[in-house]
Structure 1
Amino acid sequence: MDGVLTLVAAAGSDALTPAAVDSVRAALERLGAEGDRARWLAEGEACDIAFAGLAPEQADGAARIALGDRPVDTIAQRLDADRVKALLIADMDSTMVTSETLDDLAAHAGLRDAIASITARAMNGELDFAAALRERVGMLAGLPESALAETWAHTRLTPGAQTLVATMKANGARCLLVSGGFRYFTGKVLDLCGFDDHVSNDMEIVDGHLTGRVIEPVRDRQTKLATLMAEAGRLGLPMGRTLAVGDGANDIPMLHAAGLGVAFRPRPAVAEVARVVVRHGDLTALLYAQGIARDQFRESA
C-alpha cells in the first residue's frame, strides 16, 4: 500500500460507523484502488484505511462523496516513513486557542465589533496583515495593561491542544508556537501546552497603558514560513517530517511548505487552497493523521 486515508469524526457524533467506513472503502474500490481493512485508531472516532492505485487527492474526493454530510474529516496522504512528524509549527489564535485574542482585548475598549471585522478580513487574505495589525493596535491606545490579564482569564484552549503538544513531544518532536498575535498571550499558551518556544509580536506599553504601537518588525506570514524552514534546517529534518497548523491567510505559506499542513477550522480563502482541512475533529485529529492511536496519547507534557 502506498497511501493512507484517515477518517476522523467530530467528538461524540457517532458518525464514523463500520457501515460508513465500508462505504468509503467501496468508493475507493470503484475507482480501481486496492483498499485494506480499516485500522481503528480510536473506536468510532478515527481510523486509517491503507490503499494503493490512487493519488491521495482522488482518495480524499471519493471519501468525501461517500460520507456525504457526516461530520467526518478526511485526510489522504502518501504512506511513507515520514508520517510521524518531528517538528510542529502552530498558529495560536483560532487554532491553539478558540478565539482571536486581539478581538477579545478590544472588548475592553468597547471596540470588539470594529476590530473583529478588520481581523476577519485580514485572516481571509483581504487586507495586508501587517497594516491591519498596526491599525487594530492603534485603536487600543490608552487601554490599561491590566486588560491583558483580564482577557487571558477568559481565553480557552482549543480541545486537544495540550494532548497534541504533549504527545508529539513524547515522540521526540520539537514544538513551536508562531503567531501574528502577541507575546503576552503566546507565553501563556506556551506554559499551558508545553511548547518549546514561541515567536510572536510585541505591543508597546508605557506607564501601564498601551501606546497603540506595535514593536517592529511585525511577525507575519513570512515569519511563519521562515521559522518552519529554519527549524527544519537546524534539526536536519526533511520537510516531509514537519507539521504546520493554522486557520488564517497568513498561515498559507507554511501550510504549503510543511510535509503535513493542516488548515484547522479555516477561513474560507484558506480552505480553498489547503491540501488538508479539519472542520469537525479537534486538534487530536493531527495525531490521528500521523497514525497515532488514542491509547498512545499523552494528556500533558
Structure 2
Amino acid sequence: MFIATLIAAGRLRDDDLARASEIAGGGELRWIDAGDAADLLLGPVDDWRDLRDRLEAGLPGVDVIVQPAEEREKRLFVADMDSTMVGQECIDELADFAGKKAEIAAVTERAMQGELDFAEALHHRVAALNGLGVGCIERCRTERVTPNAGARTLVRTMRARGAKTLLVTGGFHDFADPLASELGFVEVRANYLESIFGHLTGRVAGEIVDAAAKARALIELREELKLPKAAVLAVGDGANDAPMIEEAGLGVAYRGKPKLDAVADARLRNNDLTALLWAQGIPKAEWLED
C-alpha cells in the first residue's frame, strides 16, 4: 500500500484533493490537517515516481510525497545544515568578514550544483579565510545564520517521539554544534577549521565530511540502531547530499539543486520543513512548536 501526501499549508482545497484522486485513478482521501495536508490512500503502485511527477504537475504549488505506508513515521532523521536546516551557506557569510563573499559564494554554488569536486572546492574556499580572526566565526554565526522555518519544530517533534537525530554537514563544527543544540539534534558530523594564535590558517583539520562521508554517517547510525532503510528520513539541498538521500527510506530535496531533485524521493519546493511532519502523518496538534 502506498500513500500520497498532499501539502500546501493554509492553501489546500477540496478541489485539490479531488484532482489528486482523479490523477491517481482513485483512492481514499483523508485530511491530516484541514486546509494544510491530506493523504490519498492507494493500493499497490507500479511506478510511484511517475505518479509523484504527475501529481506535482497537476497540482501546482502543492508538495507531493508518495511513499509506502509501512514505516511511515521515521525513527532516524539525518539532515544537512547549510541551505537546509539554516537559510545560509555559512562559509559564504564567513567569507564576507574577509571581504571575499562574492568569490567564495560562486565556488559554493558550483560545488552544490555538483560541478566541482566537493573536497577540492572546500579547500579552495577555506584557504581564502587564511588570517581571519576566529572571533569573526561567532559574530558570523549570531549575526548572519538563522534556522529555516520549521526546522526547530521538525527536529524537536521527531526527537520527542523517539527518533534519533543527526546533523551532518560539509560545513564546520563552529556553526553546526551550536545549531544542533538549538534545534535538538543529538549527534553532529562536520569539518574542523584549523586555527593558531587566534587566527584561521586557511586549512581544514582532519578528514573532510564530503558526500561519501555523509552517506557513511547515515549508514553507520542506521546499522547501529538496527533500523531498516525504510525507517530513515534524510533531507538536503545540494548535489553532495545525493548519496545520503539515496540511503534513506524517504530522501527529501529541500529547495534542491537539479542533481539532487533527480534522485530524491520527494521535493519540498513550496512549504517549510514542518511539511516533513505531515509527510509522516503527524498532525499539528502533536507538534512541539516554538
Same fold? TM cut 0.5 = yes
Amino acid in structure 2 at the alignment position of 1:230: E
The answer to whether the 8 A contact 1:24-1:62 is kept is no
Q: How far, CA to CA, are the matches of 2:117 and 2:51 in structure 1?
A: 36
What is residue 2 of structure 2 aligned with on the other side?
A: 3
Structure 1 range deviating more: 124-133 or 291-300 = 291-300
Aligned: 1:254 with 2:244: yes
Alignment equivalent of 1:78, drawn from 68, 81, 88? 68
Q: How far, CA to CA, are the matches of 2:232 and 2:262 in structure 1?
A: 22
The correspondence of residues 212-231 of structure 1 with structure 2, limited to 5 A, is 212-231=202-221
What is the deviation of 1:126? 0.6
Q: How far, CA to CA, are the matches of 1:160 and 1:249 in structure 2?
A: 23
Please tell me the root mean square deviation across aligned C-alpha atoms, in Å: 1.2
Q: Which runs of 5+ in 2 are unaligned?
A: none
Q: In the TM superposition, what whole-angstrom CA distance separates every residue of 1:98-125 from its partner, at most 9, and x where no partner exists?
A: 0100000011111111000000011111
Alignment equivalent of 1:93, drawn from 75, 82, 93? 82
1:57 is paired with a residue whose SS is helix
Q: How far, CA to CA, are the matches of 2:58 and 2:187 in structure 1?
A: 41
Structure 1 range deviating more: 113-122 or 283-292 = 283-292
Aligned: 1:197 with 2:193: no
The answer to whether the 8 A contact 1:142-1:209 is kept is yes
Q: How far, CA to CA, are the matches of 1:272 and 1:228 in structure 2?
A: 20
The correspondence of residues 169-180 of structure 1 with structure 2, limited to 5 A, is 169-180=159-170
What is the deviation of 1:209? 0.8
Q: How far, CA to CA, are the matches of 2:51 and 2:69 in structure 1?
A: 13
Q: In the TM superposition, what whole-angstrom CA distance separates every residue of 1:13-58 from its partner, at most 9, and x where no partner exists?
A: x2x11111111111111xxxx4102x22222111111112533223
Alignment equivalent of 1:66, drawn from 53, 58, 62? 58
2:262 is paired with a residue whose SS is helix
What is the deviation of 1:74? 0.7
Alignment equivalent of 2:122, drawn from 118, 128, 133? 133
What is the deviation of 1:250? 1.2
Q: How far, CA to CA, are the matches of 2:57 and 2:113 in structure 1?
A: 26
What is the deviation of 1:179? 0.5
Q: Which runs of 5+ in 1 are unaligned?
A: none
Amino acid in structure 1 at the alignment position of 2:146: R
Q: How far, CA to CA, are the matches of 1:265 and 1:46 in structure 2?
A: 19
